[in-house]
Amino acid sequence: MSTVKLSQWETMLLEAARAHGFVDEEIIHRLRTGDSEPFADVEGGKYDFSPLFELYQNDSAALEQAIRDGYQIKFTTINGIKFLLNKRYQLLAEQDYEVEETALSQVRLSVEALDWMRKTISRNWRVVEQEKLAGGKETVVRFELAAS
């Protein structure tokens, strides 16, 4: 089974819903029934979730697989990485890590979080380990734009 590729916007909607407290099976149920109303409260109605519902109508199996088993973003921007770090791990730019023009450095992640980020972000980014912490359970990394 290959990894499902989603657009950055689709992943942002999915992660915003998760950060708001929706669990995977609940998201899938809402998509199946076409019930977008519960998503209206996510960050005060900031997002239009219709792209997720459209994707579900076009390829429900792929989206369900992405939700349950993970996904890879087709093309990730620096703001996309910052969004993921915030929604999944509650890390804030300039507070929890440093922001450069084409890199994020001093990002402290658990082994599981680092593994997830490596699998999820697009290949136009390189993850460089800067330091191992807490007996190897955490790593400080740098996300840098790979040379084209």
Q: Are residues 20 and 56 in the same domain?
A: yes
pTM for the model: 0.93
Q: Are residues 16 and 68 in the same domain?
A: yes
- How far apart are alpha carbons 128 and 116 in whole angstroms? 15
Last residue of a domain, one of 56, 73, 90: 73
Q: Are residues 88 and 29 in the same domain?
A: no
Q: What is the pLDDT of residue 113?
A: 97
Residue 72's Cβ-count burial label (10 Å; 0-12, 13-18, 19+) is middle
Predicted confidence (pLDDT) per residue in 94-148, tens digit = 999 999 999 999 999 999 999 999 999 999 999 999 999 878 899 999 999 987 5
Predicted confidence (pLDDT) per residue in 14-55, tens digit = 999 999 999 999 999 999 999 999 999 999 999 999 999 999
Last residue of a domain, one of 73, 91, 106: 73
Cα atoms in the 13 Å half-sphere on the side-chain side of 20 = 19
Last residue of a domain, one of 33, 51, 73: 73
Domain count for the chain, please give it. Answer: 2
Q: What is the pLDDT of residue 127?
A: 97
Q: Are residues 68 and 18 in the same domain?
A: yes
- One-letter identity of residue 140: V
Q: Are residues 41 and 82 in the same domain?
A: no
Q: What is the pLDDT of residue 134?
A: 72
Q: Are residues 83 and 25 in the same domain?
A: no
Residue 141's Cβ-count burial label (10 Å; 0-12, 13-18, 19+) is buried
Q: Are residues 88 and 141 in the same domain?
A: yes
By residue range, what is the domain housing residue 40? 4-73
